[in-house]
């Protein structure tokens, strides 16, 4: 039986660590090894809004090395279930994180993050660095 590769999805916090080759970024790269790395369209948005003009070219080059996944109706259904569940428990999470979590849940991605908010989201595989 052939082993299937795990698809890792980096949220914005993890992507920034890898981009700047920090100690956390090196841990993230070691974790992912040679497996495919994905980011979401929301990570691109957060990056480009938060970065200075001179950093955008570096980000655009790095974006060519990863797969970018789109948000779909199915992802919306999954993220809405997550949000309703968390709201019912009084544990609100950033909207972008909810959308990313829905994408990871639907697509069975292993999420790598530096953000503790994802600890409250059940059902997705998460590594917090």
49-105 pLDDT tens trace: 878 888 888 888 888 888 999 999 999 999 999 999 999 998 888 899 999 999 999
Q: Which domains, ranges and CATH numbers included, belong to the chain?
A: 8-128 (3.40.50.1010)
pLDDT in tens, 22-62: 999 999 989 888 787 899 999 999 988 878 888 888 888 88
Angle between helices 12-19 and 23-32 (to 10 degrees): 110
């Amino acid at each position: 039986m052939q082993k299937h590769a795990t698809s890792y999805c980096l949220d914005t916090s993890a992507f920034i660590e890898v981009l700047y080759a920090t100690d956390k970024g090196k841990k993230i790269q070691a974790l992912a090894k040679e497996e495919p790395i994905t980011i979401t369209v929301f990570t691109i948005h957060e990056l480009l809004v938060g970065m200075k003009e001179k950093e955008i070219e570096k980000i655009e080059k790095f974006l060519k090395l990863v797969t970018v996944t789109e948000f779909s109706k199915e992802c919306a259904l999954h993220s809405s279930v997550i949000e309703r569940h968390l709201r019912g428990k009084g544990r609100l999470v950033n909207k972008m994180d909810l959308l990313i979590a829905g994408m990871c849940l639907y697509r069975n991605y292993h999420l790598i993050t530096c953000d503790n908010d994802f600890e409250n989201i059940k059902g997705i595989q998460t590594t917090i660095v």
